[in-house]
Structure 1
Amino acid sequence: MTAMKRVLILCLRSAKGAMWRGGALTVLVLLAGVGLLSLSGWFIAAAAAAGLAGAGLTFDVFKPSAGVRALALGRTAARYGERLLTHDATLKALVAVRLRLLRGLMAQPLRRLERARAGAALNRMISDVDALDGVTLRLFLPAIAGAITLILASLGLLWLIGAPVAGWIALVYGGGALAIGRRFGPKALPAARRAERAIQAVRARANDAFAAREDLTVYNALDAQAAQIHRAGFALGRARDRRDSVERVAQFWVTIAVQSAVAGALFIGFWQVSQGTLSTPLATTGVLAALALSEVLMPLARGISEFGRIADSARRVMDDIPEETAPLAERGKTGPVVVPPLDLRGVAITPLIDTLSLTVERGEMALLSGPSGVGKSTVLNVIAGLLPADRGSVCIGGTPVDQYSDEDLRGNLGYLPQRAALIDGTVLDSLRLGNPDLSEDEAWQILEAVQLSGFATSRDGLKTRVGSRGSALSGGERRRVALGRLIAGRPAVLLMDEPTEGLDEATATAVLHGIRTYLPTSAILIASHRDCDRALADRTITLR
């Protein structure tokens, strides 16, 4: 529940005015519905009574009929405004949640991000956040508006009809809502969790089958993977049936509560008529008001059904959103990064490295070498600020890395990890991720530096599409586009992990020469095991 409270507070803060105005219109819609049915019932009963009494010619039909029309038109207008305001406010709130979630995910330790499946993080950004619209639209607003409507309607009935009918209606609807919520709310959570796990299993298996379709075809395993997807789908169907059964049973008891309220109002009202303490039109008003107030209780079953999914989604999303998240540009803001050297002093990274000290001077290219698993990539991650060192200091221009703001650090330190991802778009779009102000002439210079100008010329130039994750390119082309994106911002410090992987030696040598020419004063530190990279380095640092 704490997570749902945080979601609710965030939603209300994001669109406070629109949300409260929408809530007020929700109450107005419910009250207009109660008033419309009650007034119509009174009008019909009173007109009939006047006709039987021979007073039909003197009965004023204009004011009640005008009231009915006003309530009908007002209810329609209020419903439109309520939907417009609440949905607009909810969509704005979900944008705020997504931004906070993205910042929270980016602030997670690198090791945790490495362990997370990409699909799980993406699901939180899409499916889980989308489910959070129910916090306001299916839980908070219906509950608050329903409670306010029930109180106001009960007070109105108390004034018009008296305590017996008004008290019965308030007791049945108020007590029934609380009893049904307490009885079936806890059951909804485990049912929703099972359904969520089942749908995640279906998605994971389907995504795996699509991603590995070539390998599955080669090993004749497509049918086996399809069978797993079918089994997961069958489990999903059963989980959804269990979840839906909770809603059906809750809806049954909601119907019982509504029928009890109407039957009780009918019995009490006409018992009072028989005793001469209440008129027939007012007794009819009480019965129809009880029937109209069923609209207050009807969202309850749907809310109970959605409660488990919403609560589970809120917990997963809020686990990755810190309590207070300051804008990135405000964290430890410092002046512009001073030109290198890059300086490591007594850095220890358990359990890989006991002590490491090194300096990379301006215009120098140093190479980290050593057997696989010795910690080359880890050292680069520590320098890039993605992992903390157990002890020692990492400084750029004499200032510790952890004292730079993200904006300054990322603007002056470039890092190419072993697995660099590309985003669908053109080659120019990819390069401008590294420098939004990059001109087309500069883009061609970068493509020349990374040996891609001939490739681009033979295709659509800077408009050549790279595809999702670079699917339209070969492995070597993807690597070189990532290198081009890296150097587009002209970083003062350049960290590259296996930059020439997938390139032949001649192309690898030309690419490193091109990068050195394009960034003549940058301090470059490479982690590599290739002889062609070692031959171009000014100095080699061996990790053992």
Structure 2
Amino acid sequence: MIRRISRSPLAQVWRIMAQGAGMRRAFVLAALVLIAGAGLLALSGWFITAAAAAGLAGLGARFDVFRPGAAVRGLAILRTAARYGERWFGHDATLRGIVRLRSHVLSGLARADWRGLAGLRRGPALARVVSDTEVLDGLPLRLVQPVIAGAAALACAAVLLLWLTNWEFALWICGAHVIGAAAAALWALPRAGRLAARQVAAEQAFRTAALDLVAARDDLAVYGRLAHARLCIEEAEARARALTAAMDRIERATGLALDLTRGAAAAGALGLGSLAVSLGAFDQSLAAMGFFLAIALGEVTAPLRRAVADYGRIRDAATRVAVVLEPAPQAGPPDTGLPASALPLAFGGLRLGAGQMLAVSGPSGIGKSTLLARIAGVLPEDEGQPAITLGGLAPAIWPEDALRAAVTLVLQRPAVIGGSLRDNLALAKPDADDAAMTEALRICRLDHLRGGLDLVLGDGGKGLSGGERRRLALARAVLRRPALLLLDEPTEGLDAQTAAEVLRNLRAALPRSAVVIATHRRGDILTADFTLDLG
């Protein structure tokens, strides 16, 4: 499941989230918001100064106040409308992007290889699907969009200043904001990125310690360890608080640098504007416009402060998510033509046909489960091991859908969902009717359960014993009626009589299915037609 990442994790995530026109519309509107805001303040400064100068010169009656006033109102309306549209399209596109990203993550987990899934436990997998993808909604809104919109606004401001004033004036006002923001980013982002991973780990350690205390409080109290556990929680909380405070200091330092940059840009604009007016390069109203524009452009770089705080979390979440994203479609196996059936199963010198049963025995850890996984095609072939063929073709040659329709693997610890027995059986065959489901339960000796198909189970199958959960998985296999059925310790936890009856019913219900059973129980081995001892 862990794949080599060919591009940066942020780029992988962004490629998925940026699909569709909604994100582009949001970026255009975000740029309009900044441009309209800066233009509004700059035009207001020019308007007030020009009107005052006209009044002092005795030309107030001839000064046109209508068009500048209308432009001010127009920019205000444009800014409000663009802000509304940017929020509408931006959040809609982001939510749709999160849905696409979560779908890719789930698809990647579903297509992951056996070893990868075995190493990714339920908690981390759920965190990647839920928590990490939720963190990544900040990628477009707090990282990409401010950069694109800010660059567009600065470019428009530079063009306006070059048109109306001179290049020195434009260079100082726009260059100061660019250089100040770039310097703050180069200083803050690496520090925040390194700190974010430690902060997330500390917060996770605190949550884990708190949950463990709640779950084990009775045992901790009995053995006198409650006070020690509470002390551990307080220490974990203190570490998390300290790292949060350190992140806050970086964020505040970034904000201070941006405020100083805005002040320097405004002060420089005031000085250069006064000098230009005295030299006759342009009039005082344009100088005032540049001064107010220098102040307004602070809104362009302001999102950097929030981006610094979020960058590390977003980057780390993208790194965790990128390794489980659904791989890009690749050329499938060569079209050699599928056989009519997955049987016979050939492995070394063994050939297993319809209606036959093979028992694979050996001590724990010898490789029984691994052999079943290789037959099912969820693990690749190992060099040096006998080749496996299904109907004359290796499992890797079979298309995934055809292989899953022909082969069913029942694990030793099967997955059972919270819900009714009917819901769990429907995972195997959604269109099965109640009569077929009830018959499957009878075959697996589960027809005695109170409530029948309407029995509601808790999360993970709570309400059933371990043996009953395994028999529920067997009932699902019966509904699928595969050509080849692979069972990993299916009778574990059952008494000898029940185990023998379940296997007998299973073979009677699936007379044309070949069965491979990994077991260490002598009764199961004696039931089989062939045996393979891996010890």
Q: State whether residues 416 and 482 of structure 1, in contact with CA within 8 Å, keep that contact through their aligned partners in structure 2.
A: yes
Q: 1:491 aligns with which of 473, 482, 492?
A: 482
Partner of 2:4: none
Post-superposition shift, 1:35?
1.2
Q: What pairs with 1:433-512 in structure 2 (closer than 5 Å)?
A: 433-455=427-449, 458-459=450-451, 461-512=452-503
Q: What secondary structure, in the 3-state scheme, does the structure 2 residue paired with 1:470 have?
A: coil
The structure-2 alpha-carbon separation of the partners of 1:470 and 1:216, relative to structure 1 and needing over 3 Å to count, comes to: farther
Give the aligned partner of residue 411 of structure 2: 417
- Identify which of 239, 255, 266 aligns with 1:235: 239
The residue aligned with 2:249 is: 245
- Paired amino acid for 1:99: S
Q: Report if the CA contact (8 A) 1:336-1:408 is conserved.
A: no
Q: Deviations over 1:254-305 (max 9, x none)?
A: 1110111112112222333344443332222111111111111101122122
What is residue 429 of structure 1 aligned with on the other side?
A: 423
Matched residue, 2:353: 361
**In structure 1, the residue corresponding to 2:448 is in which secondary structure?**
helix
* TM-score, with structure 1 as normaliser: 0.89
Asked if residue 340 in structure 1 is aligned to residue 343 in structure 2, the reply is yes
In the TM superposition, what are the counterparts of 1:65-84 in structure 2 within 5 Å? 65-84=69-88
Give the equivalent residue in structure 1 for 2:509: 518
> How many pairs align?
526
Native 8 Å contact 1:414 1:487 kept in 2: no
- 2:55 aligned with 1:51, yes or no? yes
Q: Residues 143 and 307 of structure 2 are in contact (CA less than 8 Å); yes or no, is this contact kept in structure 1? A: yes
Preserved contact between residue 154 and residue 166 of structure 1 (Cα < 8 Å): yes
Q: Confirm or deny that 1:137 pairs with 2:141.
A: yes
Q: Distance in 2 between matches of 1:373 and 1:470?
A: 26
How far the C-alpha of 1:379 sits from its partner, in A, is: 1.5
Structure 1 Cα separation of the partners of residues 229 and 61 of structure 2: 80
Measured against aligned partners, the alpha-carbon deviations of 1:72-119 in whole angstroms (never above 9, x if no partner) come to 111111112222222222333333333333343444443343233432
Unpaired runs of 5+ residues, structure 1, are 346-356
Q: 1:428 to 1:318 in 2, by over 3 A?
A: same
Distance 1:486 1:239, change over 3 A: farther
Deviations 1:141-197 (A, max 9, x none): 211221121011111022123333322111101111221122222212211121122
- Cα shift readout 1:294-333 (whole Å, capped 9, x = no counterpart): 1111011221222222222222222334763449xx6667
* Alignment match, 1:63: 67
Distance 2:137 2:421 in 1: 37
- Which residue identity lines up with residue 429 of structure 1 in the other structure? D
Aligned ranges 1:68-217 → 2 under 5 Å: 68-206=72-210
Distance in 2 separating the partners of 1:337 and 1:72: 72
Q: Percent identity?
A: 42
Structure-2-length-normalised TM-score: 0.90
Q: For 1:410, give the aligned amino acid.
A: R
Quote how far apart the aligned CAs of 1:527 are.
Answer: 1.1
Kept in 2, the 8 Å contact 1:4–1:315? The answer is: yes
RMSD value, Cα: 2.6
- Equivalents in 2 of 1:325, 1:218: separation in Å? 56
In structure 2, the gaps of 5 or more residues are 1-6
| Distance across 1 between alignment mates of 2:372 and 2:217 | 34
| Cα distance between partner residues in 1 of 2:22 and 2:299 | 23
Which one-letter code corresponds to 1:32 in the other structure? A
SS in structure 1 at match of 2:39: helix
